[in-house]
Structure 1
Amino acid sequence: MTRLLRLFVTACACVLLAYRAAAQVPAAGAAPSPTLPGTAVLRLAAGAQIGQLEAALRALGASGLEQKFPRALAPSKERPGSVELRGIYQFRYAPGLTLGKVRQLLVGTGLVSYVEPLYQRAPLYQPNDPLADSTIANQAATQYYLKKTQTYRGWDLDRGDSTIVIGITDTGTRFTHQDLRGQVKLNYADPIDGVDNDNDGYIDNFRGWDTADRDNDPSVGPPYGGHGVLVAGCAVARPDNGKGLAGVGFNCRYLPLKIYPSTAAGAFGGYEAIVYAADHGCKIINVSWGGTGGKSQFEQDVINYAALNHDAVVVVAAGNANAELDFYPASYDNVVSVAGVSPTDRQVLTYSYRVTLSAPGDLILTTAADHDSAYVAVGGSSFACPIVAAAAGLVRHRFPALNAAQVAAVLRRTTDDIYAVMGNTTLAGKLGSGRLNVRRALSLGPNQTAVRIRAQRLSRARLLPADTARLTLTAENLLLPVQGLTLTVTSLTPELTVTSGPVALGALATGGTAVAPVQLSVAAGTPINTRGVLRCRFTAAGGYQDDQYVVLELNPDYVVLTANDLHLTVTSRGNLGYEGTNNEIGASITYRNSAVLLSEGGLLVATGPTKVMDRLRSAPLYTADYDFFTRQAIRLLPLASADQQAAGVFQDSLPSLSRGRTLGVRVRQRALAYAAPAADRDYAIVEYTVRNASADTLKPLHAGLFMDWDLPAEAARNVAAWDSTRLLGYVANAPQPAAASLYAGVRLLRPDTRAVASYYALNNGAGSAAPVYFGDGFSSAEKFLTLNNRARQRTAGGSVGSDVSHVVGAVLGRLAPGDSVVMAFAVLAAPSLPQLQAAADAAQIRYQQVLPTRAASVSQLDWQLYPNPTTGRLRVVLPAGNTGSALTLLNALGQPVGRWRVGPSSPVLDVQHLPAGVYLLRWQSVQGETSTRRVLLQR
């Protein structure tokens, strides 16, 4: 490099702050990736017809149905795991519906296997200023990473050629840059003439494609500027032209694919670009973008399609946060996940057990988009990624018989160990197998041992405290045949124990597989959201040893009450069914193995139209409120007053910390479920003790449960109604609810003496003239309207039914600082309305038995009644010395329906005249103490 060019490179570093401003890339590791509003993607289930899907979407008011990949390559038996992309469709859903609601309704039809948002992943651009340190500045003026990875020596073995094409899915390219001219793989079968000459569905895709704006110009453009030019230079900057740089891929070519829109009509096209690259012959695909959160089966399907259907090596940047986190697509299966390290091999960016290997990712000198001879030193895993992608291209050229998984294995098994570097010693396994070594990869190639964990399967859907489970691992031998293979699995997490020993897998030929069962045990006191890490160590004859890792989620941040026929999910932040609007977290509500019954539910606490606290959908449309946060995660407790009991604490912020926007309430929640008798099997109880933690009196305080029910077989034909006698709001199918086979609802249990019950039934599809219009979201004012007793609306759905929800609540009056009030609800389901009402009555009686404020009792004394259940006569056996005490029989509303004075002999109570149901028999001793027993009267 000339002295003039070195000076220019150093000067270019001064513009890095301008790059940062232009890119406007959010910090990695913070908020989850944004999604495309009002748009979703689905996959048609096997055997379902597109006409059926169109009808289901019309019923939802959805539009814009579009097959995403109509020309995708079909799966092949010769490629295990290959996927069918032709069944994936994109559509727009009606305003007023949450994605969770849409997902639940469509999945419930059985026509689709998933419905997901379209995540908008950002490029991983993290420039740095080399002028901050003179040593770093010198390194920034050279391609130090070529020597570090032994690329120079690797080129002595192979330099690739134009048949190896690297798909660069990014912000576009600068075709005229002096180091990128002539490096683009051109499609001579479709010259620019306005005709789709090669009949691939893309007109004039002569030099790449813009999958965001859907046109044939992948030139660099806003909003992220020249990121794609920086990436391309690392991989394919033209060698031996006497100018600038030499890309690691040397003679390899690249296909520019622009994935970020430059027009208002465009949308993020990252995954569409991966499919395009795979369909158009790219055996290496570079992905220098991604985001936290939002794990997606659609995205995994696209990765699998490229890697398995088309045998492409998908190389992905692991992220730029100086933290351990899941990052997508880098954390998916069938990718080569690349972490960026410093010039001294020290960890500086994202690390995790999902990383495959590391590569230099700091002070990377590369091509810049400013003009045709611009270069700049940049940093981030965005630039470690194309270095590895280019190395993969050289390996594919030198060893053309290797498949994508084998190429990845060669790269992984030939790295340099960097865990002895200061700062890396505590990160074992989290920087992959080590730092890329191009020479060793090209020298050893397939002449080595490489076994991988190809698949894993758990015997349980969730690993909860005190669970035992079987983890089945499938091992695959990728390279040389192996003898005496053994797998030893060790837990690196104290809460997770491996109770089985090493598994002898024996001899495996190249491509051979073996199954290893592993027995696991979860500790009883495992905290919420614990990550269980298993080290899987392969050993074999000849000294082979390789560690791989499996990460399992233990005790996720919700509990599911399963003691009876109604299974209810309760979260740590006041939601029921699912965590807020995300119905990927939670198991909803089911009844006797039914489809899920609830798309969204949770607690509302309010004092007025601008002071409503919740974690539900919000306004504007496609947003959510996140007012409650966890103080004490919900967890199952040792059995006490119920067959299953869970408890936790959540709260909002103090008003002094939120500029008066919040209330300052702390809520202790309790959930209880009972297995017997039969009437108790149809409900679960949720109780909320609301404490005023602020310095001001809350007046008037309102609270209630919002429940968006979706009862099968068609949620768009539900009706909602109010049983004011029982304070029971319920939902059933139309047009004849009396004949419905399933009812669900919520009963307000024994409200506080200050409370006045409230109910509001909602038609979710009501027009903009309705008092509550979901088409523009669910505002705080609308939420308060549903809680306000004066705004009661008793029915919804009319005679033919609709998509309905309701709010069951109470006006609680004044709550002074430090004071508390208790609200409790029964969440119920039953096959008929009489059974639902009987369950509601049973829940009221049961709750009276467990109230913490009940009077002192003589329950410890031995008194009995039999037969129970009874058909008409009930004998009561009391301890001696209780002549003159009183017995009172109460119905489900707490009203006395029979009174008896106890004589010297055991009384026999005649209850034949009463209707069947659940009653409460209260005994009051001569000393005034009371005790109760439940009575089930049958006919």
Structure 2
Amino acid sequence: MKAITTTILIIITIAASIVAFGQNKMNQDPYPDNEIILKIKPAFKNQCKNNALQIESVNTLLNAFDVSEINVKFPFSKVPEKNDGRQTDITTIYSVKFSNTIPVLELAYNLSVLPEVEYAQPAYRPQLMYTTNDPLTPAQYYLNNLKAYQAWDICQGSANVIIGITDTGVEYAHEDLVDNIAYNYNDPINGIDDDNDGYVDNFRGWDLGDNDNSAEWSEASEYGANDHGVRVSGYSAAKTNNGIGIASPGFNCRFLPVKISDVNGMLNASYEGIVYAADHGCQVINCSWGGISPHPYGQDIINYATFNRNALVIAAAGNYGNLNNDIFYPCAYNNVICVAASNSADVMWYKSCHGPQVDITAPGEAVYSTIGNNSYNSGWGTSFASPLAASVAALIIAQHNDTLTALQTGHILKLACDNIDTIPDNIPFAGQLGNGRINMLKAVSPINSPALEFDSIEFIPSTDNDTLYITGIIHNYLSACNNINASISCSNSHIQIIEQNQFIASMGYNSDYHFTTFPFTCKILPGMPYDEIVSFTITLSSGSYIENQT
């Protein structure tokens, strides 16, 4: 799940935060000119208050501008009780807003180099991942492609498994959605925060975009109203076997609507929506949105959901495959399942983004679902492939009686795919569609395979900086395996691999292997350009199982 690429970019690219802040705004996602996201290092937590910072160096920079408010982003989150190196402390992340326009990138950079600051960045606004088109004749061909009917003979999901839909809202009265919302009976609508979670009357989700208890899509302005979330909800969790409407892969699994757009349609609470869903019991979180600007705040939120809350994040790959084929986030972050889109013939949808960041593919061309005004129609986009994958992930969790970790669920989803690289129209994209198109029958059947991943990667330069020692931890998330080979390769002509292969005799189920010495060594040859981005590939194999991380 992309555990190596981002780390390498951070290490090999000199001062990654400086490079990011040096980009032209035209090449980034949009962001407001009067807000920054700031994370204080946890070591200085005693100087952090909910609405103030008692750090002189930080305040000196902030007070040079007219600060209108400073608020901790997640006041109800707690410091992890145990930190195994993977859980994330999000209690020191702040939103700082200003009364007037400020030089956002300059201020963010100046803050980021302070010793008390972990990172500072613009408050990026992502975009939805869908494409409109003319309506087609109602058809759910994707249930056949996914082998849904065969899978339902084995498992029909569980009402205890909840999919968080972070999107533009829901239609509460839709006939095929109303009975599958995960209602919060501990906080009925009575004007009181009965469950003491900080959200008054969040009986049927929450609107983070406008900070109220109604995630109804149609309450936005005429310009901002968008039924994208209604469509996504249908793919993930339309009520199945109820005699009306459509069926969703997760069958009995339910969904929690988390609205992340404001009254004008701006996605102003996207990553906050992930935290809300994770904090409110969602085992799977769907993100049919994204942006082209990677940032540490986003990775922090993904890690929080994954490791602190055991929620699997699934995201759309993006819809610019026929143009720039951009890499989008959150789908390309570590620990996220990235979903590309295909059609009824299992051919990649021509607009779907593709590449090494993709983990799996699901139908996303002319796929039928719920829409606004209590109706149904077809849609196009990776936005709609992603919630189908999320629904299958929920089915996997139900089949295993909610005993899996988030990453175990993700690896089962990856292993339960049919290879589509050999389809003639897909050959030009071989290796860029993940493990293939999801097969639900495989997903709920026993999978006798390991799931290996190289993680917690460290790059340690020699004293003369011309040699790089690479180490990390190998995780095996699933079946025990023997005779494991780990190797590293690099296509960059300025990198010479010195120590390339390692052998591990065996690994048990859901186990880790810690290297006692540096497993891989490479030499940086003369002539390496400044700020060069270098990609390595780690290959892990055991018998017929092979996993490449690039």
State the TM bucket, normalised to the shorter chain: 0.7 to 0.9
- Is contact 1:93-1:102 (8 Å) kept? no
Equivalent positions of 1:204-223 (< 5 A) are: 204-221=201-218, 222=220, 223=224
- Is contact 1:361-1:379 (8 Å) kept? yes
SS at match of 2:107: helix
Paired position in structure 2 for 1:357: 360
Paired position in structure 2 for 1:315: 314
Q: Which amino acid aligns with 1:441?
A: A
- Is contact 1:103-1:115 (8 Å) kept? yes
Q: 2:123, 2:519 → 1: CA distance?
A: 36
Tell me, yes or no, if structure 1 residue 487 matches structure 2 residue 486: yes
SS at match of 2:272: helix
Q: 2:101, 2:159 → 1: CA distance?
A: 52
Q: 1:335, 1:389 → 2: CA distance?
A: 11
Q: 2:243, 2:97 → 1: CA distance?
A: 52
Q: Which amino acid aligns with 1:409?
A: H
Equivalent positions of 1:842-921 (< 5 A) are: none
- Indicate the structure whose relative CO is greater, using CA pairs within 8 Å and at least 6 residues apart: 2
Moved over 6 A (4+): 527-530
Equivalent positions of 1:481-630 (< 5 A) are: 481-494=480-493, 496-510=495-509, 511-515=511-515, 517-522=519-524, 524=526, 532-540=534-542, 543-550=543-550
Tell me, yes or no, if structure 1 residue 126 matches structure 2 residue 131: yes
C-alpha distance after superposition, 1:98-148 (max 9, x if no partner): 223323443444222111111111111113346xxxxxx5xx531111110
Tell me, yes or no, if structure 1 residue 84 matches structure 2 residue 89: yes
Q: 2:56, 2:151 → 1: CA distance?
A: 55
SS at match of 2:88: coil
Tell me, yes or no, if structure 1 residue 291 matches structure 2 residue 291: yes
Q: Which amino acid aligns with 1:403?
A: T
Q: 2:531, 2:424 → 1: CA distance?
A: 30
Tell me, yes or no, if structure 1 residue 179 matches structure 2 residue 179: no
Q: Could you list the runs of 5+ residues in structure 2 that have no partner in the other structure?
A: 1-25
Instruction: Give the strand-richer structure, 1 or 2.
Output: 1
1:248 is displaced (CA, Å) by 1.1
- Is contact 1:213-1:267 (8 Å) kept? no
C-alpha distance after superposition, 1:772-806 (max 9, x if no partner): xxxxxxxxxxxxxxxxxxxxxxxxxxxxxxxxxxx
Q: Which amino acid aligns with 2:273?
A: A
Sequence identity percentage: 32
Paired position in structure 2 for 1:273: 273
Distance 1:54 1:468, change over 3 A: closer
Q: 2:58, 2:492 → 1: CA distance?
A: 46
Paired position in structure 2 for 1:64: 69
Q: 2:100, 2:84 → 1: CA distance?
A: 41
Q: Could you list the runs of 5+ residues in structure 1 that have no partner in the other structure?
A: 1-29, 131-136, 551-939
Q: 1:325, 1:402 → 2: CA distance?
A: 32
Paired position in structure 2 for 1:201: 198
Paired position in structure 2 for 1:401: 403
Aligned residues: 503
Paired position in structure 1 for 2:17: none
Paired position in structure 1 for 2:29: 33
- Is contact 1:73-1:309 (8 Å) kept? no
Equivalent positions of 1:255-266 (< 5 A) are: 255-262=256-263
1:205 is displaced (CA, Å) by 0.5
Q: 2:114, 2:85 → 1: CA distance?
A: 29
- Is contact 1:172-1:220 (8 Å) kept? yes
Paired position in structure 1 for 2:450: 449
TM-score with structure 2 setting the length: 0.86
Paired position in structure 2 for 1:22: none
Q: 2:55, 2:145 → 1: CA distance?
A: 54
Q: Which amino acid aligns with 2:31?
A: T
1:498 is displaced (CA, Å) by 2.8
Tell me, yes or no, if structure 1 residue 152 matches structure 2 residue 155: no
- Is contact 1:211-1:259 (8 Å) kept? yes
Paired position in structure 1 for 2:251: 250
Distance 1:159 1:529, change over 3 A: farther
1:296 is displaced (CA, Å) by 1.0
1:358 is displaced (CA, Å) by 1.0
Distance 1:267 1:213, change over 3 A: farther
- Is contact 2:449-2:545 (8 Å) kept? no
SS at match of 2:417: coil
Q: Which amino acid aligns with 1:180?
A: L
Distance 1:145 1:209, change over 3 A: same
Q: 1:104, 1:378 → 2: CA distance?
A: 41
- Is contact 1:358-1:436 (8 Å) kept? yes
Distance 1:53 1:401, change over 3 A: same
1:524 is displaced (CA, Å) by 4.6
Tell me, yes or no, if structure 1 residue 166 matches structure 2 residue 163: yes
- Is contact 1:187-1:207 (8 Å) kept? yes
Distance 1:172 1:79, change over 3 A: farther
Q: Which amino acid aligns with 1:303?
A: I
Paired position in structure 1 for 2:7: none
1:356 is displaced (CA, Å) by 1.3
Tell me, yes or no, if structure 1 residue 470 matches structure 2 residue 469: yes
1:340 is displaced (CA, Å) by 1.1
Distance 1:181 1:152, change over 3 A: same
Of stretches 432-441 and 495-504 in structure 1, the one that deviates more from structure 2 is: 495-504
1:385 is displaced (CA, Å) by 0.4
- Is contact 2:261-2:269 (8 Å) kept? yes
Paired position in structure 1 for 2:9: none
Q: 1:397, 1:120 → 2: CA distance?
A: 34
Paired position in structure 2 for 1:115: 120
Q: Which amino acid aligns with 2:337?
A: V
Distance 1:78 1:64, change over 3 A: closer
Q: Which amino acid aligns with 2:471?
A: T
1:80 is displaced (CA, Å) by 4.1
1:95 is displaced (CA, Å) by 4.2
Paired position in structure 2 for 1:282: 282
C-alpha distance after superposition, 1:4-37 (max 9, x if no partner): xxxxxxxxxxxxxxxxxxxxxxxxxx94210122
C-alpha distance after superposition, 1:415-462 (max 9, x if no partner): 1111111233243432111111111010024x321111223222359x
Distance 1:455 1:56, change over 3 A: closer
Instruction: Give the helix-richer structure, 1 or 2.
Output: 2
Q: 1:79, 1:205 → 2: CA distance?
A: 32
Q: Which amino acid aligns with 1:37?
A: D
TM-score with structure 1 setting the length: 0.51
The one of 412, 415, 419 equivalent to 1:413 is 415
Q: 1:232, 1:175 → 2: CA distance?
A: 11
1:376 is displaced (CA, Å) by 1.1
Q: 1:250, 1:229 → 2: CA distance?
A: 17
1:527 is displaced (CA, Å) by 6.5
The one of 88, 101, 104 equivalent to 2:106 is 101
- Is contact 2:362-2:437 (8 Å) kept? yes
SS at match of 1:472: strand
- Is contact 2:239-2:251 (8 Å) kept? yes
SS at match of 2:291: strand
- RMSD over aligned Cα atoms: 2.5
Distance 1:524 1:202, change over 3 A: same
- Is contact 1:470-1:520 (8 Å) kept? yes
Q: 1:474, 1:169 → 2: CA distance?
A: 32
Q: 1:141, 1:530 → 2: CA distance?
A: 50
- Is contact 2:74-2:91 (8 Å) kept? yes
Q: Which amino acid aligns with 1:289?
A: W
Q: 1:73, 1:147 → 2: CA distance?
A: 44
1:249 is displaced (CA, Å) by 1.1
Q: 2:280, 2:163 → 1: CA distance?
A: 11
1:395 is displaced (CA, Å) by 0.6
- Is contact 1:107-1:115 (8 Å) kept? yes
1:368 is displaced (CA, Å) by 0.9
